[in-house]
Structure 1
Amino acid sequence: MPSYLKSMSTFLCSLLLYSLCSTLTYSVELSGNNGDLTFDFFHRDSRHSPSYDPSTTRFQRLRHAVDRSLSRKSSLTALHSTSSTGAIVAPISLSGYEYLMKIKIGTPPVEQLAIADTGSDLTWTQCKPCKQCYNQTLPLFDPSHSSSYRPVSCRSHQCTASGSSPSCGRKNTCQYKVFYGDNSYSFGKLATETLTFDGGVSFPNFAFGCGRENGGTFSDTGSGIIGLGGGSISLINQLKKSIGGKFSYCLTSRDSNATSKISFGSSAVVAGPKVVSTPLVRNIPETFYYLTLEGLSVGTERFANAKLLSSLESSEGNIIIDSGTTLSFFPEEMYNWVEGALKDAVKGERVEDAQRIFGLCYKKGDGFRSPAITAHFKNADVVLAHDSIFVETEKGIVCLTLFPSEGLAIFGNLHQMNYRIGYDLEKRQIYFLPTHCSKPQ
């Protein structure tokens, strides 16, 4: 095994713990004017994030993102591999979440800054009284001060969908338990509340977790989790009647002064002469958004389709798109072909990555040039942004941001930047539109 793969393997860990995705469906009706449901959606390392540390260099922030990405990939693979048993791993290490979003819970509404993630379903926040809570910047949510808080019965559909082993508390109330791949956890009561977004758009009877015991590797920035996955208890499916199963986001580059945006409902429709679309494939677990990858191109050379099909797990639904994974991971055979093609095509001086994590690195300079890489999804060709393929990982050194994988293939957020990406769970399609995401939409 190459040395960089050995080094990479030291980052990969997963503990098989539990969360359940139910096939039951229910939804929350919109209260008030639906308006333009578009909100700020910012990276945890951006200047707009409360967790932004100006003392760290952009190279350190990138290294941390790579570490989180490798850890997340391991947990996502474990979830995918064990889903057929019915005991589903919570998908990611909490230090691996990448994007934050503001919501408000309760009546009167109380602001929460939560980690938004397409690889999770249950939305939860830390609550009073708390037996064991991690430190957070914002005040804890106190359900006793909200007139709209209602505990959920342990015989309800919501309780069944909230976890693999929900239990009954006093007065027949649903108790949830969520574990994550790095030993982080959240235990508490499942309840319904009024969910409010900026601008006063509110959704009553939203099922969420009121966490009374939470711990692990959470930072003090986030109050909890916003589940944007495909499961029935996710925000997207609970709000389905109002938003039509549609959401979209536009991720700015990491050094941009602008915030990324996330939209829901009619404002999430992605259209235009340059838009391409590919089917969302139903697969297990239903939390994930599965696409079909038919090939990769380096410049004008394309990885042969027959060879591709032998290297992926299946021809349909063979890759997931994930907002919380920074890097992109492809089957080892495909990655090796891409690396070989790049070695032949790239103009520049090869160097070793000092930490031996990245597989292909060059000196940055006037002589460095790289061809385009295109991901060929079914019916949709997506050209990776040139500055996302090779990224400066230390001063004067650029490295390839594609990685080999022996398991699950993942299309990460670094290669989604400067595309407006729309999810339509009703039509089972995902849309890509090249967009300067830092400009007003």
Structure 2
Amino acid sequence: MANLYLLHKHNCMFVVITLLLCHLVYYCVTATTYINHDNGGFNAHLIRKSSRNSPFDKHKKTKIYRRLIGSDTPGSLMRTDPNSGAHIMKFSMGSPPFDIYAMADTGSHLLWTQCQKCKACYKSNFGVFDPRRSSTYKNINCRAKDCRLVGHYKPQDYSRNFCRENDKRPCLYSFSYADGASTTGVLSKETVTLTSNTGKILTLKDIIFGCGYSNNETINTGNEMGVIGLGRGPLSFVSQIAPYVGGKRFSHCLVGEDVDDVSNIYFGKGSEVLGEGVVTTPLVDTDPEEVNYFVTVQGISIENDFVPYNSTGKFPKKGNFMVDSGTPVTRLPQEFFDRLVIQLKKMVKLQSFVKYYPTSSTSNLCFKSKTLPKLPTVAIHFEGGGKLQLAQDQLLYNDEPEVFCFGMAKHTVDGKDFSEFGIYGGDLQTNMLIGFDMDKKLVSFKPMNCASLNYH
């Protein structure tokens, strides 16, 4: 399948994010959604894998790496893992409809699934989509403007004149992930079907997706059949449905892992984060064709001590932090992390050590304690003056018996710092309503009990 490697959006940030998010899932989510064609929004319910309502209970409960998330609003299913943050979203594709379970990923911007005839595909418990059996499947050719949205990448083993020689050839794409996962195939259009919690069916025609013929998941449970990109790119699910739901915006509210309840994600109109206690900060474009959600963090305070992002105390570079529910543990550049650890050790009088996790190339500050330690107040300071205080139960996780680790880590490989920016991960986003508004270029945060949203 070397001749399929033509299109490749190998954005640096996309690759890093996918590495951090990729493959290990402990949430299983059922999303129920409904779109009003009068530009009304829709929402989705997500059920964690450990929930009694999880449809993956009958399958092997292995960890996999990546993470994400109503009233009367079509249908999906997701799950996550303490080290992943991935969500698997259920929807249907084709005519007749074929059920797809795809990882919802805020760090990527293409919807893709494995397709028959698959040249090289990973195991799937739910089968593989066969476009030959669908009456609504459409190829996108080289000359189509949609083909140019993926971005052109021409490796050495591929002819540079592929489309020039025949612009009616299929539009090819190839995405690589930093952990070794990849997908290569044909850019296509298909009908996507969503079902509301009241049984109402919504049909969206000509949704652009990647039909993957050569795919590799480095860590796979068999439940994931592809990826549903929720990033800012023109091919993302959020961008494609924007005309139907009232705008390019969405918000999500994740319940804690110890709560047997659903989380929620809201798309379009009605997804705005409003009211008392909202912290809002500008969305930053670090690249002319930005596809990720970057904001600017000035620093982090521990009680009354402020630790600036830069050791010089100067205002940091704009867009130094990525907000990503798919990355579990919040990640900091090494120098910033080290200064934060110094302050924590001063205030928490417990035996501590820094633990390195080779599988994720991260290091965490851990405390030895038989009970959950009490930490000082920790808050993130954003550009614009917003101060977001984090809850105690978000900041620590029980790593092993009598060991509790801080929910912010540094990303290192062989002792070297490879982080050009920080990542505000999914574990610190629980019990937080977070809104992404691409139209107004704002990100908003509102601490709240996310489980309570299910009773309104």
Compute the TM-score of the two structures, normalised by the length of structure 2.
Answer: 0.75
Pair 1:274-2:277 in alignment = yes
Q: What is the letter of the counterpart of residue 235 of structure 1?
A: F
Pair 1:397-2:403 in alignment = yes
| 1:172-187 map, 5 Å | 172-187=169-184
Q: Confirm or deny: 8 A CA contact 1:20 1:161 kept in the other structure.
A: no
Pair 1:107-2:113 in alignment = no
Pair 1:322-2:305 in alignment = no
Q: How far has the Cα of 1:298 moved from its partner?
A: 0.5
Q: Output the CA distance in 2 between the equivalents of 1:55 and 1:240.
A: 36
Q: How far has the Cα of 1:170 moved from its partner?
A: 9.4
In the other structure, the counterpart of 1:363 is 368
In the other structure, the counterpart of 1:426 is 439
Pair 1:19-2:16 in alignment = no
Q: Output the CA distance in 2 between the equivalents of 1:305 and 1:398.
A: 25
Pair 1:386-2:363 in alignment = no
Q: How many residues get paired?
A: 383
In the other structure, the counterpart of 1:6 is none
Q: Confirm or deny: 8 A CA contact 2:90 2:101 kept in the other structure.
A: yes
**SS at 1:239 equivalent:** helix
**SS at 2:292 equivalent:** coil
**SS at 2:311 equivalent:** helix
Q: Confirm or deny: 8 A CA contact 1:348 1:367 kept in the other structure.
A: no
Q: Output the CA distance in 2 between the equivalents of 1:293 and 1:20.
A: 26
Compute the TM-score of the two structures, normalised by the length of structure 1.
Answer: 0.78
RMSD over aligned Cα atoms? 3.1
* More off after superposition, 176-185 vs 353-362: 353-362
Question: Relative to structure 1, is the Cα distance of residues 154 and 354 closer, same or farther in structure 2, using a 3 angstrom cutoff?
Answer: closer
Q: Confirm or deny: 8 A CA contact 1:282 1:290 kept in the other structure.
A: yes
Q: Confirm or deny: 8 A CA contact 1:280 1:430 kept in the other structure.
A: yes
| 1:256-267 map, 5 Å | 256-267=259-270
In the other structure, the counterpart of 1:39 is 44
* More off after superposition, 343-352 vs 116-125: 343-352
**SS at 1:242 equivalent:** helix
Question: Relative to structure 1, is the Cα distance of residues 354 and 173 closer, same or farther in structure 2, using a 3 angstrom cutoff?
Answer: closer
Q: Confirm or deny: 8 A CA contact 1:44 1:100 kept in the other structure.
A: no
Pair 1:249-2:252 in alignment = yes
Q: How far has the Cα of 1:430 moved from its partner?
A: 0.9
In the other structure, the counterpart of 2:108 is 120
Q: Output the CA distance in 1 between the equivalents of 2:442 and 2:354.
A: 41
Q: How far has the Cα of 1:345 moved from its partner?
A: 1.1
Runs of at least 5 residues in structure 1 that lack an aligned partner in the other structure: 1-16, 22-29, 73-94
Question: Relative to structure 1, is the Cα distance of residues 45 and 291 closer, same or farther in structure 2, using a 3 angstrom cutoff?
Answer: farther
| 1:12-411 map, 5 Å | 18-19=8-9, 32=37, 37-42=42-47, 68=65, 96=84, 98-165=86-153, 168=163, 171-199=168-196, 200-217=201-218, 218-243=220-245, 244-284=247-287, 286-304=290-308, 307=311, 314-350=316-352, 353=355, 358-365=363-370, 368-379=373-384, 380-405=386-411, 406=417, 407=419, 408-411=421-424
Q: Confirm or deny: 8 A CA contact 1:48 1:259 kept in the other structure.
A: no
* More off after superposition, 180-189 vs 167-176: 167-176
Q: Confirm or deny: 8 A CA contact 1:385 1:417 kept in the other structure.
A: no
Q: Output the CA distance in 2 between the equivalents of 1:424 and 1:179.
A: 27
* More off after superposition, 355-364 vs 98-107: 355-364
Runs of at least 5 residues in structure 2 that lack an aligned partner in the other structure: 1-6, 12-34, 68-82, 155-161, 412-416
Q: What is the letter of the counterpart of residue 246 of structure 1?
A: R
Q: How far has the Cα of 1:436 moved from its partner?
A: 1.1
Q: Output the CA distance in 2 between the equivalents of 1:308 and 1:428.
A: 29
* More off after superposition, 37-46 vs 287-296: 37-46
Question: Relative to structure 1, is the Cα distance of residues 161 and 394 closer, same or farther in structure 2, using a 3 angstrom cutoff?
Answer: same
Q: Confirm or deny: 8 A CA contact 1:132 1:212 kept in the other structure.
A: yes
Q: Confirm or deny: 8 A CA contact 1:276 1:432 kept in the other structure.
A: yes
Q: What is the letter of the counterpart of residue 207 of structure 2?
A: F
Q: How far has the Cα of 1:184 moved from its partner?
A: 2.0
Q: Confirm or deny: 8 A CA contact 1:34 1:201 kept in the other structure.
A: no
Q: Output the CA distance in 1 between the equivalents of 2:44 and 2:352.
A: 42
Deviations 1:90-120 (A, max 9, x none): xxxxx95622211221223222111001110
Deviations 1:159-202 (A, max 9, x none): 12224338658952212222222222212211111222222233
Q: Output the CA distance in 1 between the equivalents of 2:60 and 2:368.
A: 25
Q: What is the letter of the counterpart of residue 9 of structure 2?
A: S
Q: Confirm or deny: 8 A CA contact 1:32 1:202 kept in the other structure.
A: no
Deviations 1:349-392 (A, max 9, x none): 43675979644222334683211210011232211221121211
Q: Output the CA distance in 1 between the equivalents of 2:148 and 2:54.
A: 34
Deviations 1:261-314 (A, max 9, x none): 21111131211112221110112261211101011100121124773655x8x4
Q: What is the letter of the counterpart of residue 19 of structure 1?
A: K
Q: Output the CA distance in 2 between the equivalents of 1:154 and 1:146.
A: 22
Question: Relative to structure 1, is the Cα distance of residues 412 and 299 closer, same or farther in structure 2, using a 3 angstrom cutoff?
Answer: same
Q: Confirm or deny: 8 A CA contact 1:117 1:229 kept in the other structure.
A: yes
% identity of equivalent residues: 31
Q: Output the CA distance in 2 between the equivalents of 1:111 and 1:389.
A: 37
Q: Confirm or deny: 8 A CA contact 1:19 1:163 kept in the other structure.
A: yes
Deviations 1:220-239 (A, max 9, x none): 11110001111111111122
Q: Confirm or deny: 8 A CA contact 2:369 2:403 kept in the other structure.
A: yes
